[in-house]
């Protein structure tokens, strides 16, 4: 169980309920078979797990992550419940199930997979966010860079002194990937969605597939998406349809490896290491499974998730402690274990670029969605400039792209933190319909008429993703011990700690002058160090080798979540609901 998830960790501006208010769902009285532990996940709300007490109180509710997403009782669900699946224990359990599959390349470049005779064997792949590497670099101290922390993570998952050195089968991970590559693809797709160009989207078959309606809002933050789905469904048409980097990476790995290696998606086990607990819930969305993109003989996929498990930065320390590994003693140099070539050369070049790119400070710490779009607009309007207007606090900033004649050609904004998000969604709320026959809908006096922005970058965490709920915190015991604090760190120490994490996030090898040159359009066709044409070519190649339309691969959908709390339903309806949830994406 991820014991790290507790009510004490809740620090959102909107205080979520400590207890899950979803009632315990039970079938009509009848003998029932033991539940499959892979489908249900214990949620401990108060007290210790155990059987029904003498007083007749119910045992802890068995609530799946899909159930959690289907309930509108919580604002930030992932931080209000304790989830046994998607934890460091799950990682170790899966590693010990059977010997891992091995990818072997012969002298002619032909790729084969060894170990397929064991149906329980899996191919292990892990993707790591740059925010995670930055947080671990700050925890290491002594000027450790994000890249060096990345080497330590790579050695942990692939090296003999890491996970391979223990466990039942000595299993490790075949590939350790950087989600920055998927982030670059998401930036290009997101900019094309806002500004037009790139891939032509097909005509929608239903409302869920409709393109986003301006103003377009980022959708890479799962806490924000859950909040919108549960409390403000009128916002959903504005959410970007582009998948998050975590989701896009999962789809890329499952589709490409299953096609190229000739194995089923369920035999590829993808772990993601993220700065946010809500990423666990994102991974369990039914929209992010092979049911969306896989078809065999006209039948949809089995609902195998594109990302099988998510653990947070903090849980890395729990993972190593379980195996008796000292993370800080792992060498911060490239792993001596050579990762095998990816089975497709084009995807290999995309996933493993020859040189790491330095993050731009002006892009922020949450992926740079807005930053990329602003510079894309600027590249399409030669001679234009970007103007910044500070909002009511540091987490609200407005941006204008002004052309050479002084005319504003593009307006955008950044809203971080739930307190600011509430102000944003109020502006998007549609006007109330007039009660008079033939009357026009009107907004209350004094309220603005919607948003003037074309694009808004929205993140649930104040300060952005380097301050995610799953990141290492200054008041974590491991940091208190390493820094030698005699008392609990205060606000000033917290501020200094976040500055250390941000400094590690912006560390890198690429000279600042070259990066700024790329940001300013000094390199032909390059925007913020990224080649949109190269990204589009790679995405087109991905669609070609998998035989799947790019829209099904790179885009997703959202739906309103309607609570059933307090509603009376029959036993028959309850049986149908539970049966449906057991299917889903599990």
Q: What distance in Å separates the CA atoms of residue 257 and residue 264, rounded to the nearest whole number?
A: 9
What is the C-alpha to C-alpha distance for residues 401 and 288, in angstroms, rounded to an integer? 35
In three-state secondary structure terms, 125 is: strand
* Helix residue ranges per DSSP H, 39-197: 65-70, 88-95, 130-140, 146-158, 180-195
Rounded Cα distance between 471 and 488, Å, is 18
For 162, counting Cβ atoms within 10 Å of its Cβ (0-12 exposed, 13-18 middle, 19+ buried), the class is buried
Distances (CA, A) of 576 to 266, 303, 436, 562: 26, 19, 42, 17
- Cβ neighbours of 563 (radius 10 Å): 13
246 is written with which tokens?
A: 């975590």
Strands 396-402 and 385-390: what pairing?
antiparallel
CA distance 453 to 410: 8
Q: Is 382 exposed, middle or buried (0-12, 13-18, 19+ CB in 10 A)?
A: exposed
Q: Assign 3-class secondary structure to 488-506.
A: CCCHHHHHHHHHHHHHHHC
| Long-range contact pairs involving 355-358 (C-beta distance under 8 Å, separation at least 24) | 355/509, 355/510, 356/147, 356/178, 356/508, 356/509, 356/510, 357/180, 357/508, 357/510, 357/515, 357/529, 358/506, 358/507, 358/508, 358/509, 358/510, 358/512, 358/515
Output Rg (C-alpha) for the chain, integer angstroms: 24
Q: How far is CA 175 from CA 203, 225, 259, in A?
A: 37, 30, 17
Are the C-beta atoms of residues 413 and 398 closer than 8 Å to each other? Answer: yes
d(CA 17, CA 326): 36
Q: What is the DSSP letter of 486?
A: S
Burial state string for 355-377 with b = 16 or more CB within 10 A and e = fewer than 16: ebbbbbeebbbbbbbbbbbbbbb
For residue 128, the surrounding DSSP H or E stretch is strand 123-128
Please check whether residue 199 is in contact with residue 189, taking contact to mean a CB–CB distance below 8 angstroms. Answer: yes
Strands 111-114 and 295-296 turn out to be unpaired
Using CA atoms, how far residue 531 sits from 35, 190, 217, 506, 521, in Å, is 50, 14, 23, 20, 11
Distances, alpha carbon 57 to alpha carbons 51, 60, 73, 274, in Å: 9, 9, 22, 37
pLDDT of residue 292: 86
Residue 201 has a CB neighbour count (10 Å cut-off) of: 15
User: Over its length of 586 residues, how does the chain's per-residue pLDDT go in tens digits?
Assistant: 344 444 344 343 333 333 444 444 444 444 445 444 444 343 433 334 444 444 444 444 455 555 554 454 443 333 334 344 688 999 999 999 999 999 988 877 788 899 999 999 999 999 999 999 999 999 999 889 999 999 999 999 998 889 998 889 999 999 999 999 999 999 999 999 999 866 555 555 555 567 888 899 999 998 899 888 888 899 999 999 999 999 999 999 999 999 999 999 999 999 999 998 888 888 888 889 888 887 665 566 678 899 999 999 999 999 999 999 999 999 999 888 788 999 999 999 999 988 777 777 888 888 889 999 999 999 999 999 999 998 888 889 999 999 999 999 999 999 998 889 988 998 888 877 666 666 565 555 544 555 689 999 999 888 888 888 889 999 999 999 998 888 888 889 989 999 999 999 988 644 444 444 444 444 568 999 899 999 999 999 999 999 999 999 999 999 887 755 555 656 665 555 544 443 333 2
Within a 10 A sphere around the Cβ of 303, how many other Cβ atoms?
16
Query: Which pair of tokens denotes residue 234?
Result: 């009128």
Instruction: Please tell me the distance from the alpha carbon of residue 407 to that of residue 413, in angstroms, as a whole number.
Output: 18
């Amino acid at each position: 169980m991820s014991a790290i998830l507790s009510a004490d960790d809740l620090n959102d501006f909107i205080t979520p309920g400590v207890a899950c208010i979803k009632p315990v769902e039970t079938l009509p009285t009848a003998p029932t078979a033991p539940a499959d532990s892979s489908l249900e996940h214990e949620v401990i709300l108060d007290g210790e797990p155990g059987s029904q007490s003498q007083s007749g109180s119910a045992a802890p509710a068995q609530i799946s992550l899909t159930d959690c997403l289907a309930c509108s009782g919580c604002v930030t669900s992932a931080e209000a419940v304790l989830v046994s699946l998607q934890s460091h224990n799950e990682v170790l359990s899966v590693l010990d199930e059977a010997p891992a599959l091995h990818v072997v390349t012969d002298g002619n470049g032909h790729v084969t997979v060894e170990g397929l005779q064991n149906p329980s064997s899996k191919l292990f792949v892990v993707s790591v966010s740059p925010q995670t590497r930055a947080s671990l670099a700050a925890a290491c101290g002594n000027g450790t860079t994000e890249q060096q922390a990345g080497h330590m993570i790579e050695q942990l998952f692939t090296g003999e002194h890491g996970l391979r050195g223990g466990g039942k089968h000595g299993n490790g991970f075949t590939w350790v990937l950087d989600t920055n590559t998927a982030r670059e693809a998401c930036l290009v797709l997101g900019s094309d969605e806002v500004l037009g160009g790139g891939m032509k989207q097909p005509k929608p078959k239903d409302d869920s597939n409709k393109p986003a309606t301006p103003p377009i809002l980022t959708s890479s933050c799962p806490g924000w998406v859950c909040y919108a789905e549960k409390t403000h469904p009128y916002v959903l048409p504005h959410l970007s349809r582009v998948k998050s980097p975590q989701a896009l990476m999962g789809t890329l790995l499952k589709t490409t490896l299953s096609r190229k290696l000739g194995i089923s998606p369920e035999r590829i086990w993808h772990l993601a290491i993220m700065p946010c607990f809500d990423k666990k819930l994102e991974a369990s969305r039914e929209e992010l499974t092979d049911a969306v993109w896989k078809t065999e003989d006209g039948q949809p996929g089995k609902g195998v998730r594109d990302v099988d498990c998510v653990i947070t930065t903090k849980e890395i320390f729990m993972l190593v402690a379980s195996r008796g590994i000292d993370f800080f003693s792992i060498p911060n140099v490239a792993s001596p274990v050579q990762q095998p070539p990816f089975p497709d050369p084009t995807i290999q070049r995309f996933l493993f670029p020859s040189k790491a790119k330095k993050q731009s400070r002006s892009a922020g710490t949450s992926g740079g969605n807005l930053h990329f779009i602003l510079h894309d607009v600027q590249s399409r309007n030669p001679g234009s400039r970007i103007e910044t207007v500070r909002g009511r606090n540091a987490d609200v900033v407005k941006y204008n792209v002004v052309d050479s004649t002084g005319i504003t050609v593009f307006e955008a904004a950044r809203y971080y933190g739930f307190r600011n998000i509430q102000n944003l969604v109020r502006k998007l709320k549609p006007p109330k319909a007039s009660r008079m026959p033939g009357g026009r809908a009107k907004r209350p006096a004094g309220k603005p008429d919607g948003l003037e922005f074309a694009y808004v970058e929205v993140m649930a965490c104040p300060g952005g993703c380097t301050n995610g709920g799953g990141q290492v915190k200054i008041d974590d015991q491991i940091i208190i011990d390493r820094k030698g604090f005699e008392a609990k760190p205060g606000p000033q120490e917290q501020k200094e700690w976040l500055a250390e994490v941000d400094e590690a996030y912006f560390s890198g090898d690429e000279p600042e002058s070259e990066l700024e040159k790329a940001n300013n359009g000094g390199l032909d066709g390059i925007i913020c160090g990224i080649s949109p044409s190269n990204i589009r070519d790679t995405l087109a190649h991905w669609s070609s080798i998998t035989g799947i339309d790019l829209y099904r691969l790179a885009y997703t959908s959202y739906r309103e979540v309607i609570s059933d709390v307090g509603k009376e339903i029959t036993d028959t309806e309850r049986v149908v609901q539970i049966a449906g949830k057991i299917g889903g994406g599990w």
